[in-house]
Amino acid sequence: MSFVSRYKQKEFEFFIKEDNQDFSIENIINRIREAEWRDLPYKAQNWGNWYHRMGAYVGKIKPAIAHLIIKVISKKKDIILDPFCGIGTVPLEADLLGRIAIGLDLNPYAYHIARSKFDRKPKERIMKYLDKIRINTKKIDLKKCSNDMKIFYDPKTLKEILFLLEKFKKDKQHFLIGCLLGIIHGHRPGHLSAITSLVIPFIPRTKPIYKEVIPRIKAKVNRMYFDDFPINTKGKIYKADARKLPLKDNEVDVIFSSPPYYNTLNYVTDNRLRNEFLGFDKNKREKLKKKLIQNKNNYLFEMKKVGFELKRVLKRNGLCVFILGDHHEGKKIINTATEIAKIYKQIGFQINDIFEDPMPVNKALPTTFKRLKKDRIMIMTNKKFRKVK
């Protein structure tokens, strides 16, 4: 099956062409340094399969970057691991390119969105399932909901959300859990909350009104099926810790990930409302924060634990690529890539290259807040790298 995005078929076939690729480390470095994602059509904001739009997430990697790097560092049927997969951008793009994708994340919301992308059925079957649902919210008790949650929703809407979320969980409808979480709040008519940000749930700018949930879920399903994708997949998403991977030794061909930013993004707080729907109240979210790798005081220590696990599961001579963000403390800039490189070299990785990838300046910010931010791409190999034939 061919996968047709909104670009012309001829263009898409060019995107996935991989004839006689040179897998020498020199060629891999040179190809990635070209940074084709800065040019059209890849730099377009809406580039990529509609499945990538399942849910919003802070600091997620652009699908175009994942697409281009995966093509350069791997071949079809390779096993690609993203130990910090977030909402599954890398695993999904790897899967669409014919690789075997493995992703894991500890954040409940991120896990459910990533998992939803690998629960695939014909659209007609999903719609029939939704048509058979008879909503009964008599047993739904809103007293269990925090006041923070209630300000976003009309009571009737909130009851429908809770009823459907429980039913989807019971029926193992992972795709529909993702669809529901994807429209749980935002600023468009298709979102279920009062008007607020799509990414971070700021205090609503309007009073909530009743919004019937199932029709909006159906509209979300239709959007997700805008582009083609394979129904069958070998990809797997785990709710698991990168410091204790649920994988065998020497199982993975390639590791490609954008690890948590060094004390810059708060993945729990920024997704607090979505995680509350998943059973994580304020106390549970605070405990979750302590489990995640985002505290500057122990960030490098915890990333070292990850490094030992990555070395264990990565095949000899396997490739590991990280995209890492600089950390700003006032005028001080911490080069996260350099700090991790020191540790991973001690573990036994060979650091082949680190180079800058400047991020576009957000034009919406006032001039006083604008500053050039950089990602750094670090390319490593598990001991000596050999050319893949």
pLDDT of residue 100: 98
pLDDT of residue 202: 94
Radius of gyration over every alpha carbon of the chain, rounded to an integer in angstroms: 21
Region of 251 on the Ramachandran plot (φ > 0 left; ψ -120 to 50 alpha; else beta): alpha
Is the CB of residue 257 less than 8 Å from the CB of residue 310? no
pLDDT of residue 22: 84
The CB-side HSE value for 18 (13 A sphere, CA atoms) comes to 16
The pTM (predicted TM-score) of the whole model is 0.90
Separation of alpha carbons 333 and 321, rounded Å:
22
Amino acid at 351: I
Other Cβ atoms within 10 Å of 39 Cβ, number: 10
pLDDT of residue 18: 55
Other Cβ atoms within 10 Å of 4 Cβ, number: 15
27 by DSSP, 3-state: which? helix
Domains in the chain, CATH or no CATH each: 15-106+234-382 (3.40.50.150), 123-224 (no CATH)
pLDDT of residue 12: 39
Question: Mean pLDDT of residues grouped by 10 in the chain (389 residues)?
Answer: 38 46 90 93 92 93 96 96 97 97 97 98 97 96 91 97 98 98 96 95 93 98 95 96 97 96 79 95 93 88 97 95 84 86 95 85 46 82 61
Calculate helix-pair angle for 174-182, 155-170, nearest 10 degrees: 160
pLDDT of residue 8: 37
